[in-house]
Amino acid sequence: MNRDKVTLVGAGGRMGQEIADVLLGNPLLTLGAAIESEESPLLGLPVPSFPDLSYDADLGRGISRCEVGIDFSSPANLRSTVEGFVQAKKPLVIGTTGLTVADRDFVRDMGAHIPILWSPNMSLGVNLLAILSGQAARALEGFDAEILEIHHRHKKDAPSGTALFLGEAVASARKGSLSDLGVFVRHGLTGERDEGSIGVMALRGGDVPGDHTVFFLGPGERLELTHRAESREVFARGAVRAAAFLLGRPTGFYTMADVLLSGEGQGP
């Protein structure tokens, strides 16, 4: 069976290596190009999971060899990467985190040209957690909402994009926005909790791939919805499934919720 090829941007990073490992055994997709920055010490070296392929800095050459892309590089590379795929008219999955509002708007706008998917978290479970959190926020009117996330000590942004994603799901369900309702720091004599506020708190330490809990706290009871990632492989599997989902799709902006609800991209 012929497998469609993936251009993997940021192939030498932690997530890039996980995605390459997942592609090794995927029935639908395989790695066709491993792209790294021009400054990377990996350039020219073989990809561990695919020793016949070497890390390369030529994005255009990588795109020309493949049918779909996955980008897990950095926000600084986002626009040039997207523009490369738009020029080639090929679909792209973006798992890069730390994007600004302007970056996200740019990605959505590019859905007018190619099938493009972005999510702050590629885990299917996290995206289901966002859906369930929105449902709970609507059903539990008057309950206080708080979000707690834990990540490894090397994570550079806080709160995580996933925590903000969950906060936005809760805020939207309550006809508000996280920018207006979010509370990200509590210290000292803060006074009583503002009604309707959404606390988003970050813990950092160890090697935790990602834990997220959404609390709904009411009089005499509370509901806790939790997702725990045991390894980065869950994000890699989700990204590969998203890439398979995009193949053959019409132009448009997609999210992992579309992948989750479609039930497609899983392979035989």
Active site residues: 151, 155
**Integer Cα distance of 253 and 113 in angstroms:** 9
Pull the structure tokens for residue 34.
């491993």
- For residue 133, what are its two tokens? 């959190």
Q: Are 154 and 208 in contact (CB under 8 A)?
A: no
Could you tell me which of 14, 55, 60 has the C-alpha nearest to residue 31? 55
